[in-house]
């Protein structure tokens, strides 16, 4: 544990809180990609299966339960409770184009060819691209509400901070994980255009608009 990982975890939790509060308070999931939320749920399910077999620390276990519970709750709110407000027409990204390549890549490039390790690797690859349906949705609609923009910024910050975590661990502990680092770089790059627009638009009180 270090300050960058802790800050990244806080940013991740903050992003989830923003999303759930947005949906619950407005009683609507307009502007939110249900497909991205399904992908995130798959990420947590495949990554945290070791919750029942491996104990690392109380903090680690609490975070695993939190991410599993909140991802399930988000999918429930979007596809059951507030289903009528979900924008099926614009949320049209073909997630099989993400799931299949990530699954194949995890079978070929992993640290150890065991079920748990392959599932963990799959979750790392999938998380790096899981935000694409959300960015695609924003691009198709042309703009995003401020609260949705805050959610995306917090989520992107989480990955950027985790990259700093890997730099810190390499410098201090001489430890590195090429799979996690590569996936983190890919994910951060996907957010770069959004980060720029967020800083230049949203923080100045303007609406965030992505080019269609």
Q: Which two tokens stand for residue 24?
A: 């619950």
Dihedrals φ, ψ of 144, to 5°?
Answer: -135, 145
Q: pLDDT at position 204, please?
A: 62
Residue pointed to by tokens 């502990």:
173
Give the Cα separation of 86 and 34 in Å (integer): 8
pLDDT digits (tens, 9 = 90+) for 137-176: 888 876 667 778 889 889 989 988 998 998 899 899 888 8
Q: pLDDT at position 210, please?
A: 58
List the domain boundaries for the chain: 3-205
pLDDT of 208 > 70? The answer is no
Which residues 6+ apart lie within 8 Å of 179 measured at CB? Answer: 109, 110, 111, 121, 124, 125
Where is pLDDT greater, at 159 or 71? 71
Sign of the C-alpha dihedral computed for residues 180, 190, 2 and 74 taken in this order:
negative
pLDDT of 92 > 60? The answer is yes
């Amino acid at each position: 544990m270090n300050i960058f990982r802790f800050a990244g975890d806080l940013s991740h939790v903050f992003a989830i809180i923003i999303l759930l509060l947005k949906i619950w308070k407005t009683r609507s999931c307009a502007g939110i990609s249900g497909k991205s939320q399904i992908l995130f749920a798959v990420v947590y399910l495949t990554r945290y299966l070791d919750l029942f077999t491996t104990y690392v620390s109380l903090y680690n276990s609490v975070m695993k339960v939190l991410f599993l519970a909140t991802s399930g709750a988000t999918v429930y709110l979007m596809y059951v409770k507030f289903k009528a407000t979900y924008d099926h027409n614009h949320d049209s990204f073909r997630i099989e184009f993400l799931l299949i390549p990530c699954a194949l890549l995890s079978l070929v490039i992993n640290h150890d060819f065991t079920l748990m390790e392959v599932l963990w690797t799959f979750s790392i690859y999938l998380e790096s691209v899981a935000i694409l349906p959300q960015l695609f949705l924003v691009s198709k609609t042309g703009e995003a509400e401020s609260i949705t923009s805050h959610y995306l910024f917090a989520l992107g910050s989480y990955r950027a901070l985790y990259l700093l975590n890997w730099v810190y661990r390499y410098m201090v502990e001489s430890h590195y994980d090429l799979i996690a680092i590569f996936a983190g770089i890919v994910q951060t790059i996907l957010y770069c255009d959004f980060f720029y627009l967020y800083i230049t638009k949203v923080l100045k009180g303007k609406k965030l608009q992505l080019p269609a």
